[in-house]
Structure 1
Amino acid sequence: MLPIEPPAARAFDFPRGVSSTVLLVAHAADRGVPPERVLAGSGLSVADLADSQHQVTAGQELRVVRNLLRGVDPAGYGAEGRAVGMRYHVSTFGIFGFALLSSVTMLDAVNVALRFWDLSFALALPVVVAEEGRVRISLSTDGVPSDVAAFVHGRDTAAVETVLGELLPGRPPPRFVDGVLEVGLDYLSSPLPQGDARTRAMYEGMCEELVASRRARSGVAQQVRVLITQRLGEGAPMEVVAADLGMTGRTLRRRLASEGASYRTLLEEVRESLATEMLATGRLAVEDVALRLGYAEASSFIAAFRRWTGRTPTAWQRDRG
Structure 2
Amino acid sequence: MIRGTWSLSEPLIPINIPATMVRVGLEQGLQHADILHNTSISTSMLDDPTTRLNYQQLLTLVSNLIQHYPSQTLGLDIGGSLNINQYGMLGYAMLSCADMRSALHLGLKYHSLVDPAFTFEIIEQEQHCAIRLTSHIPVDAIYRMLCDVFVVNFTSLGRFLTGQADMQPIEVRLNHPKPDYADQYQRYFDCPVLFDQPRTELILNPSLLDMPLIMADQATANMAESQCAEILNRLGPKEGIAAKVRRILLQNPGQFPAVDIVASHLATSTRTLSRSLQELGTSYQRILDEVRKEMAIEYLRNSGLPIEEVAALVGYSDPSNFRKAFRRWTGHAPSYYR
TM-score by length of 2: 0.57
Deviation sequence 1:25-44 (CA, Å, 0-9, x none): 11111122111221111111
Per the alignment, residue 92 of structure 1 pairs with 86
Per the alignment, residue 111 of structure 2 pairs with 117
Gaps of 5+ in 2: 175-200, 242-270, 277-338
**1:178 and 2:199 matched:** no
CA distance in 1, matches of 2:30, 2:122: 37
Give SS of 1:28's match. Answer: helix
> Structure 2: which amino acid aligns with 1:60?
Q
Per the alignment, residue 216 of structure 2 pairs with 195
CA distance in 1, matches of 2:57, 2:97: 32
TM-score by length of 1: 0.59
> Structure 2: which amino acid aligns with 1:18?
I
Per the alignment, residue 102 of structure 1 pairs with 96
> Structure 2: which amino acid aligns with 1:207?
C
RMSD value, Cα: 3.0
Match runs of 1:1-321 below 5 Å = 15-72=12-69, 77=72, 79-121=73-115, 124-132=118-126, 134-175=128-169, 177-179=172-174, 180-215=201-236
Deviation sequence 1:108-167 (CA, Å, 0-9, x none): 111111111112348542133222264211213333422311111112222211111110
Q: 1:97 to 1:117 in 2, by over 3 A?
A: same
CA distance in 2, matches of 1:133, 1:209: 37
CA distance in 1, matches of 2:34, 2:76: 21
Deviation sequence 1:155-200 (CA, Å, 0-9, x none): 2222211111110113423345123212233211111111121111
> Structure 1: which amino acid aligns with 2:24?
H
CA distance in 2, matches of 1:219, 1:194: 32
Q: 1:216 to 1:122 in 2, by over 3 A?
A: closer
Gaps of 5+ in 1: 1-8, 221-253, 260-321
Report which of the two structures shows the higher radius of gyration computed on alpha carbons: 1
CA distance in 2, matches of 1:161, 1:56: 26
For this pair of structures, how many residues does the alignment match? 214
Q: Could you tell me the percent identity over the aligned residues? A: 18
